[in-house]
A = this chain, B = another copy of it.
Amino acid sequence: MHGTKHLFIPGPTNIPEEVRRAMNVPMEDMRAPDYADFVLGLLADMKKVYRLDNGRVFIFPSSGTGAWESAIQNTLSPGDTVLMSRFGQFSLLWVDMAERLGLKVKLCEVEWGKGVPVEDYARILSEDTTHTIKAVFTTQNETATGVTSDIAGVRKALDSANHPALLFVDGVSSIGSIPFEMEKWGVDLAVSGSQKGFMLPAGLGFLGVSDKALAAHASNAPKMSRCYFSWEDMIKLNDTGYFPYTPATQLMRGLRVSLDMMLADGLEAIWARHAYHAEGVRRAVAAWDGCELVASGPEWVSDTVSAIYTPDGVDARDVIAGAYGKYQTSLGTGLNKLAGRAFRIGHLGSLNPVMLCGAISAAEMALMDAGAKITPGAGVAAAQEHYRSASA
């Protein structure tokens, strides 16, 4: 192989040079007196990205899945009823975790291509006058289908029903990339991970928690056994600038730089950039005969990842294998029921139009190699028109 590999999966994402350099450090003493200031600064800045004035953000040495587990373990008890919906591989996995951890899941099945069924949620919550539902789970961005849901709408549903349930958000592939307002939207638990919008390698799980969630935890009501992901020790040590067990110091140094970059850009600018990048990819998809977004309408499309149905008769696995084997380009695979039917282009994190023109070229070549009858260059041309006329 020669030249660079092209990474267009929806995470891990491409790491900026500055972040990569920042992680290339010798090991350090995570109990040194000057380490505390460094940690306190990180924790404070994480709250800015989460749009949180109150509450706090935990950083676990784990993947995002670990932060999911932490959110549940520290606020709920076995047997608690929770409201969830399932419309893709990641919302599906979260349901599975909730069940394994002993929760009773009231489940809304949704057609893949759509997202959180806000109206159904509203109805169910208004009917739950005894407040048996302890928490409402939402997947803001379903990475498997490229679908973004309306979290503010869920908040409204809770408020209209005057319902006290905690609001959980899986923001793994949304926070730091597309609009997310933890405090404004009244989100109580918001999960993310280092390898998406934060432009870092995998290895850190993030968990934003509201004051309400902290109170639920402090009440000693949650009866779920836990230790590694328990908040008690984390809160105690974090407040002094340290961690209850050895943190991933290298990643923390990278996080420092990625937070600096994000806050210097401003979140609104980051969101606008993601929309600008995403639109070029969608224009390309529209220009490919027989291809179609999995997202079932413009109200559902995601600015961080596009899942794309291949034309009839074209196996998406061939497209993905060809892009990787012949063009050194990693596209996202079709997960679960999308296997063979769709491939994905991740367009979150540190990107620019020329990188995306490369990704679109690779997809276009791989599609044609796999038998798709598309006009050569059509996708790139459509994306170019967009990238030229607009700007981030």
Contacts and interface: CB of A to CB of B under 8 A. Distances in A.
Contacts of A193: 246
A102 interface: yes
B20 A227 contact: no
A146 interface: no
Given A101-B227, A361-B358, A27 B3 contact: no
A4 B385 CA distance: 21
A200 to B, nearest CB: 9
Given A3-B355, A64-B246, A203-B250, 9 more contacts: A12-B249, A17-B25, A63-B247, A64-B245, A100-B230, A195-B246, A357-B357, A361-B361, A377-B377
Interface stretch (A36-44, A45-53, A162-170, A362-370): A362-370
Contacts of A246: 11-12, 63-64, 193, 195, 202
A288 interface: no
Given A14-B4, A384-B377, A29 B201 contact: no
B26 A324 contact: no
A387 B28 CA distance: 24
Contacts of A7: 26-29
A210 interface: no
22 contacts: A3-B14, A4-B26, A7-B27, A15-B27, A17-B25, A27-B195, A32-B330, A33-B324, A61-B61, A61-B63, A61-B203, A69-B228, A201-B248, A201-B249, A203-B251, A224-B225, A354-B358, A354-B362, A357-B357, A364-B384, A377-B380, A377-B382
Which of the four size classes fits the interface of chain A? 35 or more
A296 interface: no
A90 B281 CA distance: 42
A342 B355 CA distance: 24
Contacts of A12: 27-28, 30, 246, 249
B9 A31 contact: yes
Count this chain's copies in the assembly. Answer: 4
Contacts of A15: 26-27
- Most-contacted residue by chain B among A1, A4, A229 (CB, 10 A): A4
A351 interface: yes
A385 B368 CA distance: 10
B65 A62 contact: no
Interface of A: 1-7, 9, 11-17, 20-33, 61-66, 68-69, 78, 96-97, 100-102, 193, 195, 201-203, 224-230, 244-251, 273, 321, 324-330, 333, 350-355, 357-359, 361-362, 364-365, 368-369, 375-378, 380-382, 384-385, 387-388, 391-392
Contacts of A361: 353-354, 357-358, 361, 380, 384
A354 B15 CA distance: 19
Contact of A358 (B9, B355, B388): B355
Contact of A387 (B32, B227, B365): B365
B33 A5 contact: no
Contacts of A355: 3-4, 358
A108 to B, nearest CB: 21
